[in-house]
Copies of this chain bind each other. A is one copy, B any other.
Amino acid sequence: MQAASCAKSDAEIRAVARRLRHDIRDGNWRDLTTGQAPGSVQGNLVVLPAADAADFEQYCARNPRPCPLIAMSAPGDPHMPALGADIDLRTDLPCYRVFENGVEVAETHDISGYWRDDLVAFVLGCSYSFEAALTRAGLSLRHIEQGVKVPLYMTDIATEPSGAFRGPMVVSMRPFAPADAIRAIEITARFPDLHGAPVHFGNPALIGIADIDAPWSGAPPVIGVDEVPLFWACGVTPQVAVTRARPALCITHKPGHMLITDRLDAEFFGTTESRETGVS
């Protein structure tokens, strides 16, 4: 494990994660979690009524690249022991968005008032973890260099529908020189639970992106003359599907305001790496 060469021990990494999660729970941290608790897995949250849960679970299973489901709660249970013994999904994210029939009705720091006995929570893998792997491999990520949000694009790649859940794949873009692009593909291919390898590179028009300088979200990119844009399936894809499906109730994290888990990036990578090898 490369993690051995890091200065921090696993216990120290977990202690930082728990401290941040407790600060969030106590209302002392309401900011982005980007770059916080390095080495810990952060997750995307989607909460749905049990009536919609089976379809959404199937939607994730059919679209593992954009929707890498890493944990799912029992109906009505706001805890998620697989990702941290003390996690309470009602209070442990810095900011939530609440949708009723597909329309946002609230942005809040605590969803205790919305919680119901039939709600099921899904936590999906997040690109922060694979970005950590790229950084550890010595690759430089442009949006991090520039201190901006990674650019996201709506594509014409259709996801595989399940029930009312359907819609286009959203992708994130990171530019690299070709040799680094090859390394980035090699590395992310090992982590199928964290979006895996890119879905496309090069000509953006081939996946329905008309203008790479006009991202759907995030800052317009800076791409060097000898660089190539690489496009990865993005965890915003299921949020788009959920918004379009218009379930009676849906709660998500606010983008960038993630669930901090007790799982380590390194531990997680190890798991998926073994799995990948077994699968091939």
The chain A residues found within 8 Å of chain B, CB to CB, are 2, 178-179, 181-183, 185-186, 189-190, 197-203, 206, 226, 228, 273-274, 277, 280
Assembly CA distance A228 to B206 (angstroms) = 12
29 contacts between A and B (CB under 8 A): A2-B280, A178-B200, A178-B201, A178-B202, A178-B203, A179-B199, A179-B200, A181-B201, A182-B185, A182-B189, A182-B197, A182-B198, A182-B199, A182-B200, A183-B197, A185-B185, A185-B186, A185-B189, A186-B186, A186-B197, A189-B189, A190-B280, A201-B228, A202-B202, A202-B228, A203-B226, A273-B277, A273-B280, A274-B277
Q: Which residues of B contact A197 (CB under 8 A)?
A: 182-183, 185-186
Q: Is the interface of A mostly helix, strand, loop or mixed?
A: helix
Q: Please give 8 more A-B residue pairs, beta carbons under 8 A apart, in addition to A178-B202, A178-B206, A203-B226.
A: A179-B199, A182-B197, A182-B201, A183-B197, A185-B189, A201-B228, A202-B228, A273-B277
Assembly CA distance A201 to B182 (angstroms) = 8
Q: How far is the CB of A134 from chain B (nearest CB, A)?
A: 13
Assembly CA distance A274 to B206 (angstroms) = 35
Assembly CA distance A185 to B187 (angstroms) = 11
Q: How far is the CB of A233 from chain B (nearest CB, A)?
A: 12
Residue of B nearest to A228 (CB): B202
Q: How far is the CB of A70 from chain B (nearest CB, A)?
A: 21
Assembly CA distance A145 to B176 (angstroms) = 31
Q: Which residues of B contact A198 (CB under 8 A)?
A: 182
Q: How far is the CB of A53 from chain B (nearest CB, A)?
A: 31
B206 touches A226 (CB 8 A): yes
Q: Which residues of B contact A185 (CB under 8 A)?
A: 182, 185-186, 189, 197
Assembly CA distance A280 to B182 (angstroms) = 15
Assembly CA distance A185 to B201 (angstroms) = 12
Interface centre among A2, A178, A183, A228, by most chain B C-beta atoms within 10 angstroms, is A178
Q: Which residues of B contact A202 (CB under 8 A)?
A: 178, 202, 228
Q: Which residues of B contact A183 (CB under 8 A)?
A: 197
Q: Which residues of B contact A274 (CB under 8 A)?
A: 277
Q: Which residues of B contact A179 (CB under 8 A)?
A: 199-200
Q: How far is the CB of A176 from chain B (nearest CB, A)?
A: 11
Assembly CA distance A156 to B74 (angstroms) = 59
Assembly CA distance A190 to B186 (angstroms) = 9
Q: Which residues of B contact A201 (CB under 8 A)?
A: 178, 181-182, 228
Assembly CA distance A231 to B206 (angstroms) = 22
